[in-house]
């Protein structure tokens, strides 16, 4: 049973974290990430620096917290939490990755984008590898999984990145279909 004081403290911590996140988001639209100081974030959030450090070690940890488990949530949402290895699940993984990459539509300076995109990619690749490792289960040897999981994860991720960056004229459903065909050996070169 949670005491009333604990509940109030949890709400206050959540509100403080959100105000730090909001302050950070405002600042990245105004100045380069490297130039944002903890004092800037604290001042914008109207808290003292000690309060910032009670929640985060530095601005990189704040950024990592913001990205959170959104990659995992996108995969769970698009696969309905079902772990299978078939063409349909691969399509859903691609669609989940596409959704994940379109989320950070934050108006910000290029230094922030340069920092966030690699972190987003790393988070999505890790989550895809976890899903694929589970979905391959006992169907592959450990040696085969060690080979296939990163290859498939990178194919899914790259398909989503190509779509999200606008490098392809296909819609996300077509990208998902083509990636699943590549993974399942049904690639047909254009006639």
3-state secondary structure of 142: helix
CATH number, span 4-65: 1.10.357.10
> Which pLDDT score, from 0 to 100, does residue 113 have?
57
Dihedral angle sign, alpha carbons of residues 174, 179, 180, 181: positive
Per-residue pLDDT tens over the stretch 138-172: 777 888 889 999 999 999 999 999 998 888 999 99
Q: What pLDDT, on a 0 to 100 scale, did the predictor assign at position 63? A: 82
Answer whether residue 21 shows pLDDT above 80.
yes
Q: Which residue ranges make up each domain of the chain?
A: 4-65, 68-183
List, for residues 89-146, the tens digit of each pLDDT value.
999 999 999 998 886 544 455 555 566 778 888 889 999 999 999 998 877 788 888 9
More confident residue, 136 or 186: 136
Query: Do residues 3 and 38 touch, judged by C-beta distance below 8 A?
Result: no
Residue 140 pLDDT:
76
- Sign of the Cα torsion 49, 50, 53, 54 reads negative
Percent of the chain exceeding pLDDT 90 equals 50
Q: What is the pLDDT of residue 112?
A: 56
For residue 163, the model assigns a pLDDT of 92
The pLDDT mean for the chain works out to: 84
Full-prediction pTM beyond 0.85? no
Q: What is the mean pLDDT of residues 54-72?
A: 84
Q: Residues 128, 156: contact at Cβ < 8 Å?
A: yes
In this structure, which long-range contacts are made by residues 16-20, counting pairs with CB atoms below 8 Å and at least 24 apart in sequence? 16/45, 16/47, 16/51, 16/55, 17/55, 17/65, 19/45, 19/46, 19/47, 20/45, 20/47, 20/52, 20/55, 20/56, 20/62
pLDDT for 64 beyond 90 = no
């Amino acid at each position: 049973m949670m005491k009333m004081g604990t509940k109030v403290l949890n709400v206050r911590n959540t509100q403080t974290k959100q105000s730090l996140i909001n302050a950070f988001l405002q600042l990245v639209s105004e100045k380069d990430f490297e130039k944002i100081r903890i004092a800037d974030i604290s001042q914008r959030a109207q808290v003292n620096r000690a309060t910032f450090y009670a929640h985060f070690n530095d601005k990189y940890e704040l950024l990592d917290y913001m990205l959170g488990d959104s990659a995992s949530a996108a995969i769970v949402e698009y696969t309905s939490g079902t772990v299978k290895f078939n063409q349909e699940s691969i399509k859903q993984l691609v669609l989940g990755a596409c959704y994940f990459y379109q989320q950070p539509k934050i108006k910000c300076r290029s230094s922030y984008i340069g920092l966030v995109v690699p972190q987003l990619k790393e988070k999505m690749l890790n989550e895809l590898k976890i899903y694929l490792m589970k979905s391959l289960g006992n169907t592959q040897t450990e040696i085969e999984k060690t080979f296939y999981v990163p290859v498939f994860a990178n194919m899914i991720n790259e398909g989503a990145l190509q779509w999200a960056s606008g490098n392809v004229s296909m819609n996300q459903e077509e990208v998902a279909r083509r990636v699943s065909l590549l993974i399942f050996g049904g690639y047909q070169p254009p006639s």
